[in-house]
Amino acid sequence: MAHELPALPYDYAALEPHVDATTMTIHHTKHHQTYVNNLNGVLDKFPELKDLGIVDLNKAVGTDKLPKDAATIIRNNGGGHYNHSFFWKIMTNPSNTNGPSGEVKAAIESAFGSVDEMQTKFNAAAASRFGSGWAWLGVKADGTLAIESTPNQDNPLMAELSGTAAMTPILGLDVWEHAYYLKYQNRRPEYIAAWWKVVNWEQVADNYAAAKAGTVPV
């Protein structure tokens, strides 16, 4: 089964002025497409892996389920494909974002004391990630929320390798320079602050419900 670049659930300018249309176009059609192409390329050489979905491929990273000759390519490109497929869906036009509510808000307040405190800790994880990587909010095995940061295209599904707490992501932020440099240059904290204004909290709530039910959102 070949992997495909998913269509965005909005147009490239929908996140303006916080995430610019040029960045979104390049990020989606160039960077994400390259991860898909590279992943399909390695899976063509290992057809026994083609029936694994993107979640299972990411969970297999760092285990003996992946052939050594394929492991690094799948880690980088399978991670990139999963991470970006997840990332596009948790953003929306700024007019549609109203902050967390319901069960996900209650879970955030239980874990961090307040939504503001969660955002402060998340921002710190995103801003302090050296080089390229991601910041994540996820549900741990005990049902509580935690924040993690991963390098490159790693994610918490790769717990065997990444050194992070095993958890199911419900919110994630790309802090690779290609995600923000055209608009924000080296001002990563400014990009992080602006990004909260396009978070799709309804999708985060759906992700939380899925994670609680034992399903990994894509």
Q: What is the CATH number of the domain that holds 33?
A: 1.10.287.990
Among 34, 61, 89, identify where a domain stops: 89
Q: Tokens representing 124? A: 């710190």
Report if residue 75 sits inside a domain: yes
What is the C-alpha to C-alpha distance for residues 57 and 210, in angstroms, rounded to an integer? 19
- 147 in any annotated domain: yes
The answer to whether residues 111 and 197 belong to one domain is yes
Q: What average pLDDT does this structure show over 156-162?
A: 77
Quick one: pLDDT at residue 165? 72
**81 assigned ligand-binding residue:** no
Query: What percentage of the chain exceeds 90 in pLDDT?
Result: 94
Binding site annotation covers 84? yes
Average pLDDT over residues 191-217: 97
Q: What would the pLDDT profile of 17-73 be if each residue is shown by its tens digit?
A: 999 999 999 999 999 999 999 999 999 999 999 899 999 999 999 999 999 999 999
Amino acid at 158: M
CB 54 within 8 A of CB 43: no
The secondary structure of residue 176, as a DSSP letter, is: S
Residue 48: inside a domain: yes
pLDDT digits (tens, 9 = 90+) for 84-141: 999 999 999 999 998 999 999 999 999 999 999 999 999 999 999 999 999 999 999 9
Tell me how crowded residue 205 is: count the other CB atoms within 10 A of its CB: 18
For position 139, which CATH number holds?
3.55.40.20
The domain boundary residue, chosen from 57, 89, 121: 89
Q: What is the pLDDT of residue 132?
A: 97
- Based on the domain organization, do 48 and 74 belong to the same domain? yes
Angle at 216 between CA 210 and CA 217, to 5 degrees: 70
Residue-wise pLDDT tens digits, 163-201 = 667 899 999 999 999 999 999 999 999 999 999 999 999
Q: What's the confidence (pLDDT) of residue 161?
A: 66
8 in any annotated domain: no
The verdict on whether residue 27 carries a ligand-binding annotation is yes
- Per DSSP bridges, beta strands 167-174 and 133-140 are antiparallel
Query: Which of 90, 91, 100, 147 has the alpha carbon at shortest distance from 122?
Result: 147
The pTM score is 0.96
**Of 89, 106, 121, which residue constitutes the final position of a domain?**
89
What is the residue range of 68's domain?
Answer: 21-89
Residue 10 lies in a domain: no
pLDDT band at 162 (very low <50, low <70, confident <90, very high): low
